[in-house]
């Protein structure tokens, strides 16, 4: 069959309004393209989320190279601020515009095009798998996690996996992600007794206790960083009381903090630390402090080895830059894949992701397909 044009495929995907959790036609389109390319496709929908599993080659093959990515996108924000149609996929001055063009429909198009061309031109001794979700930008409970659960139940497996998220800040080939920090958010509610500001002895003001707690948490130096990670960070995101009166002591105040943590910590230990500090301050002030924690992902790292070396050599050969091994950024679905097989991330420059007028270099889309295809060639060589 004729080579797949990754730019045209990116454009077709961008025209699908797949704002999380809407499928928007993106996975239907990919299933059709991949099926025509010789892949066996299975929809793995769960919890109202659409997911697609595609495999070329024998189940249980000795070597299976996997790609992972997502077709869902974040909301548009202020649509009136867009100067280009957000789902128009219009090309101007060498850039393709549209929501999801960078994060990460171009990455999905590039690895789908590379995989189809590769297996049809030089069928490998092994298998190639594409695990594509429609729920990475949302809660991610029924996205890649659902795909991996289905794979385990159906004796499907990847030997290694490359996640096609944007990985570079400024120029193509800057970085390969070999891990990610953990992320968790703690929500605090402190309840006191409302009263008149002139008669504080008849009230219990929760504000000083919250100020103390936020100071204690944000002032704590958690670590100095590790071999692969920057120092962990505690950030106060909000303190909300909603008190418009100048003569009323409020009855309740709320706050939340976010912690991005390296491989020195786990969420359980950090939760215990915050609970201990909250309990001490509650006792000091004679107030009730409630804490609720949401963990987005644990810290992980794929130690430098065969997979990162393979990807690094190809990236350097194709871009002329030796990529650094990075763990920066937020969370990605690699946090789920890391329990299944070795995983790294490599993709385009992510400078405009989630922004108004999100766009991607047309030249880079073709370059990324070339890199992915060469990775497959070298892996199965």
Q: What is the mean pLDDT of the chain?
A: 96
Does the residue 1 lie in any domain?
Answer: no
State pLDDT tens for residues 223-277: 999 999 999 999 999 999 999 999 999 999 999 999 999 999 999 999 999 999 9
Question: What is the pLDDT averaged over residues 196-201?
Answer: 96
Does one domain contain both 200 and 101? no
pLDDT at residue 330, as a whole number: 84
Does one domain contain both 189 and 227? yes
- The domain tally of the chain equals 2
Among 275, 297, 319, give the residue marking a domain's end: 297
271 token code pair: 């939760």
CA distances from 66 to 7, 35, 92, 130, 337 (A): 21, 17, 33, 6, 10
Q: What is the share, in percent, of the chain residues with pLDDT greater than 90?
A: 97
Does one domain contain both 234 and 307? no
Does one domain contain both 206 and 343? no
- For residue 118, the domain's CATH number is 3.40.630.10
Q: Which domain holds residue 94?
A: 6-180+299-380
Among 274, 297, 320, give the residue marking a domain's end: 297
Does the residue 363 lie in any domain?
Answer: yes
State pLDDT tens for residues 120-168: 999 999 999 999 999 999 889 999 999 999 999 999 999 999 999 999 9
State the catalytic residues. Answer: 72, 136
Does the residue 303 lie in any domain?
Answer: yes
Does one domain contain both 265 and 187? yes
Does one domain contain both 26 and 175? yes
Does one domain contain both 17 and 135? yes
Does one domain contain both 87 and 161? yes
Does one domain contain both 172 and 243? no
Does one domain contain both 137 and 237? no
User: Is the confidence at residue 82, as pLDDT, over 80?
Assistant: yes
Does one domain contain both 137 and 175? yes
pLDDT at residue 329, as a whole number: 85
Q: How far apart are CA 234 and CA 236, in angstroms?
A: 7
Question: What is the pLDDT averaged over residues 324-341?
Answer: 93
State pLDDT tens for residues 263-320: 999 999 999 999 999 999 999 999 999 999 999 999 999 999 999 999 999 999 999 9
pLDDT at residue 263, as a whole number: 93
- For residue 293, the domain's CATH number is 3.30.70.360
Among 297, 330, 350, give the residue marking a domain's end: 297
State pLDDT tens for residues 49-65: 999 999 999 998 999 99
User: Is the confidence at residue 95, as pLDDT, over 80?
Assistant: yes
Residue 258: Cβ within 10 Å count: 15
Does one domain contain both 10 and 38? yes
State pLDDT tens for residues 64-76: 999 999 999 999 9
pLDDT at residue 1, as a whole number: 76
């Amino acid at each position: 069959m004729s080579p797949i044009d990754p730019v045209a495929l990116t454009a077709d995907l961008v025209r699908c309004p797949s704002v999380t959790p809407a499928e928007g036609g993106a996975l239907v389109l990919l299933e059709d393209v991949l099926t025509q390319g010789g892949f066996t496709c299975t929809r793995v929908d769960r919890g109202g989320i659409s997911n697609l599993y595609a495999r070329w080659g024998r189940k249980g093959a000795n070597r299976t190279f996997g790609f992972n990515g997502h077709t869902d996108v974040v909301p548009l924000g202020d649509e009136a601020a867009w100067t280009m149609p957000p789902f128009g996929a219009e090309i101007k001055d060498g850039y393709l515009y549209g929501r999801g063009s960078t994060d990460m429909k171009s990455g999905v198009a590039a690895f789908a095009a590379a995989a189809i061309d590769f297996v049809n031109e030089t069928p490998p001794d092994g298998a190639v798998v594409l695990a594509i979700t429609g729920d990475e930008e949302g809660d991610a409970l029924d996205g890649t996690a659902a795909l991996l659960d289905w794979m385990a139940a159906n004796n499907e497996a990847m030997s290694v996996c490359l996640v096609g998220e944007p990985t570079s800040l400024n120029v193509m080939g800057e970085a390969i992600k070999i891990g990610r920090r953990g992320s968790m958010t703690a929500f605090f509610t402190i309840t006191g007794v409302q009263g008149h500001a002139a008669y504080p002895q008849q009230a219990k003001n929760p504000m000083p206790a919250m100020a103390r707690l936020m100071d204690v948490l944000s002032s704590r130096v958690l670590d100095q960083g590790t071999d692969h990670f920057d120092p962990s960070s505690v950030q106060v995101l909000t303190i909300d009381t909603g008190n418009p009166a100048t003569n009323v002591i409020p009855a309740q105040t709320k706050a939340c903090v976010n912690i991005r943590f390296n491989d020195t910590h786990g969420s359980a230990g950090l939760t215990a630390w915050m609970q201990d500090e909250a309990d001490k301050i509650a006792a000091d002030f004679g107030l009730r402090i409630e804490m609720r924690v949401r963990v987005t992902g644990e810290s992980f790292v794929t130690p430098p080895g065969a997979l990162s070396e393979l990807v690094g050599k190809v990236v350097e050969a194709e871009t002329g830059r030796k990529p650094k091994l990075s763990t920066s950024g937020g969370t990605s679905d690699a946090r789920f894949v890391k329990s299944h097989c070795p995983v790294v991330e490599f993709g385009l420059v992510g400078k405009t992701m989630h922004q108004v007028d999100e766009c991607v270099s047309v030249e880079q889309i073709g370059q990324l397909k070339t890199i992915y295809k060469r990775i497959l060639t070298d892996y199965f060589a």
